[in-house]
């Protein structure tokens, strides 16, 4: 890795992606415990996807001659008052990740590291999709309100929103 500041920022992003995976795993477990099996399936898949994002970064750093650091994981939040709270937290988390990715892109531009800048464009596009998906899910939850039948249909249908990225694709 030619620039230590960029390497440090990418390693920090590895931590964020790993913690994202843990957070979504915790959210999936909560959904499972609360009878929301479709939501749990969606979140388990999302957790796997975040781990793949982490692996992309690890491989990129190492391929460029840097040293990827495998982080210690934070203990994620594991209790939510409602499905709406869970997805508000998910959206806020994705916004934080987007901001961190944008900061890496900014550093790349300042340092004229166009290789890393190009690599990060995949993450920029991915974050746009992640935030849009979270907002879309929140809109549906708000439409449902307290309607148990609507919640049942939502939980059944959210599995169709599962990502198409599969483990091993990095």
Binding residues: 17, 50, 53, 94, 127
Q: Evaluate if residue 164 carries a pLDDT over 80.
A: no
> CA 41 to CA 158: how far, in whole Å?
9
Structural domain boundaries in the chain: 4-161
> CA 156 to CA 159: how far, in whole Å?
7
Q: Evaluate if residue 160 carries a pLDDT over 90.
A: no
The CB density around residue 18, as the number of other CB atoms within 10 Å, is: 22
Work out the pLDDT band at 163, boundaries 50, 70, 90: low
pLDDT in tens, 48-77: 999 999 999 999 999 999 999 999 999 999
Binding residues for Fe cation: 17, 50, 53, 94, 127
Q: Evaluate if residue 1 carries a pLDDT over 70.
A: no
Determine which helix (DSSP H) or strand (DSSP E) holds 59, and give its type and residue range.
helix 37-63
Pick the CATH number of 4-161 from 1.10.150.20, 2.40.30.10, 3.40.720.10, 1.20.1260.10: 1.20.1260.10
Length of the chain: 170
Q: Are 44 and 28 in contact (CB under 8 A)?
A: yes
Please state the rounded mean pLDDT for residues 103-108: 98
* pLDDT for res 159: 87
* pLDDT for res 94: 97
Task: Please work out, in degrees rounded to the nearest 5, the angle formed at the alpha carbon of residue 98 by the alpha carbons of 88 and 30.
Answer: 35
Work out the pLDDT band at 168, boundaries 50, 70, 90: very low
pLDDT above 70 covers a percentage of the chain that reads 94
Of 49, 131, 142, 53, residue with least CA distance to 92: 131
Q: State the residue for tokens 């309607």.
A: 147
Q: State the residue for tokens 């230590």.
A: 4
């Amino acid at each position: 890795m030619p620039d230590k500041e960029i390497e440090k920022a990418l390693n920090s992003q590895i931590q964020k992606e790993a913690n994202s995976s843990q957070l979504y795993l915790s959210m999936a477990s909560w959904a499972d415990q609360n009878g929301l099996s479709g939501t749990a399936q969606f979140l388990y898949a999302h957790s796997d996807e975040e781990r793949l994002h982490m692996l992309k970064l690890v491989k990129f750093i190492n391929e460029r001659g840097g040293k990827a650091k495998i982080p210690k994981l934070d203990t994620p939040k594991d209790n939510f008052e409602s499905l709406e709270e869970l997805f508000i937290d998910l959206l806020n988390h994705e916004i934080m990740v987007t901001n961190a990715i944008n900061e890496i892109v900014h550093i790349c531009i300042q340092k004229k590291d166009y290789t890393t800048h190009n690599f990060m464009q995949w993450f920029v596009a991915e974050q746009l999709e992640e935030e849009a998906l979270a907002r879309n899910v929140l809109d549906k939850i708000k439409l449902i309100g307290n309607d148990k039948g609507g919640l049942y249909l939502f939980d059944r249908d959210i599995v169709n929103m599962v990502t198409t990225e599969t483990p091993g694709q990095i």
